[in-house]
Amino acid sequence: MQYQIVPGTEMNVSRVCLGTMTWGEQNSEAQAHEQLDYAVDQGINFIDTAEMYPVPPNAKTQGRTEKFLGTWLRKQARDKLFVASKVAGPGRRDWIRGGRTDLTQDVIAEAVDTSLQRLQTDYIDIYQIHWPQRNVPMFGGVEYDPHKEKGGPSIQEQVEGMVAMIKAGKIRHYGLSNETAWGVCEFHRVARELGVPGPVTIQNSYSLISRNADNDLAEAMFRQNMSLLAYSPLAAGLLSGKYIGGAKPEGARFTLFDSLGARFRKPIVPEAIDAYAKLAKERGLTLVQLALGYVASRWFVGSSIIGATDMKQLEEDIAAAQLELDEDTLKAISELQGRYPNPAP
């Protein structure tokens, strides 16, 4: 397992991060603990979760994923692990805190406390804003619409809320998620003006078919000394190849939940995946190896977040996420990206 220092911190995290969002919906507590034990045995020391999980989110299961992690975490050497969680952004989930999801200082503090209780730990290593407070296109949206502007807590208040949690010893660092280049720069500008720490990571969707991070966001990460925690590096399982040809495997996420993954249901996506599957075969690789090896090759990726619903998937994915693709394969991927620049933004 390779490790990398999170920029601006002393945290040396595994280049593969264990994702958890299926725990409590598609996976039981025992299965979650089995995944955790195996991941740690493979050298993974980085685990990502969220107060909203599991997915698809609902009032009945919300918080269950953190609880499953907590019953395992309390038995571990806490200082050997790095745990990331997230506070839900505004709207979308009105059953979280009775609809109190605007990112005010008191909401951030309450969310941290409830996550700490569920996780059965004294601190969270990276605490992330799950999606922006302000109006931005996200989760498959591509056009900014100024008519959707809304009020709410400022970025300054969000920064101050995070810094208060750092000072209280409840979180070590904070990060962003589903964020834009402007948002990254604005958080850092505000933090500099206040003389306080800025965000250290950004967690966005990134894969062979979701490549919004390659352009202005990559520049922002470079200039603000941040790394990307890449979620959905297998495009919610599409890049495993199991849905090719319109297949609907029993128990698979897109088979069970029709409303999930709007960004991955764009018309050009199946064609792009077929092309990458063909390339993988030509290079003597599985599609999983091609997809995860590509994400691992990107200079701005600090860790690839890998989630699975069964152990066979997890074993394959962890191994593939550590594969180093050769230059010829990376060149062939680049050529394909000219035909399919960003099918699932």
Closest C-alpha to 206, from 223, 185, 224, 221: 221
pLDDT digits (tens, 9 = 90+) for 213-245: 999 999 999 999 999 999 999 999 999 998 888
Query: Helix, strand, coil proportions of the chain in percent (round to 5)?
Result: 45, 15, 40
The pLDDT score that the predictor gives to residue 259 is: 64
Residue 260, amino acid = L
Task: Estimate the crossing angle of helix 155-167 against helix 181-194, to 10 degrees.
Answer: 60
The pLDDT score that the predictor gives to residue 50 is: 98
pLDDT digits (tens, 9 = 90+) for 250-269: 777 766 676 667 778 778 99
Closest C-alpha to 139, from 59, 239, 219, 212: 212
Say which range, 45-54, 127-136, 243-252, has the weakest mean pLDDT. 243-252
The pLDDT score that the predictor gives to residue 246 is: 78
Q: Where are the alpha helices (DSSP H) in the chain?
A: 29-41, 64-73, 105-119, 155-167, 181-194, 216-224, 253-256, 269-282, 287-297, 311-320, 327-339
The pLDDT score that the predictor gives to residue 242 is: 86
User: Which position has the higher pLDDT, 104 or 150?
Assistant: 104
Tokens representing residue 247 in the block? 């297949």
Say which range, 91-95, 104-108, 247-251, has the weakest mean pLDDT. 247-251
pLDDT at 139 > cutoff 90: no
pLDDT grade for 74, boundaries at 50, 70 and 90: very high
Strand, helix or coil for residue 143: coil
Task: Give the distance from CA 49 to its chain's centroid.
Answer: 9
Total-model pTM? 0.96
Per DSSP, what are the bridge partners of residue 48? 19, 84
Phi, psi of 82 (to 5 degrees): -120, 120
Domains located in the chain, CATH noted: 3-339 (3.20.20.100)
Which DSSP letter does residue 154 get? -
pLDDT at 193 > cutoff 70: yes
∠166-167-168 over CA atoms, to 5°?
90
Query: Which residues are known to be catalytic?
Result: 53
Tokens representing residue 110 in the block? 């309450």
* Sequence-ordered list of residues with C-beta below 8 angstroms from that of 94, at least 6 positions apart, any chain: 101
The pLDDT score that the predictor gives to residue 60 is: 96
pLDDT grade for 138, boundaries at 50, 70 and 90: confident
- Residues 84 and 126: beta-carbon distance below 8 Å: yes
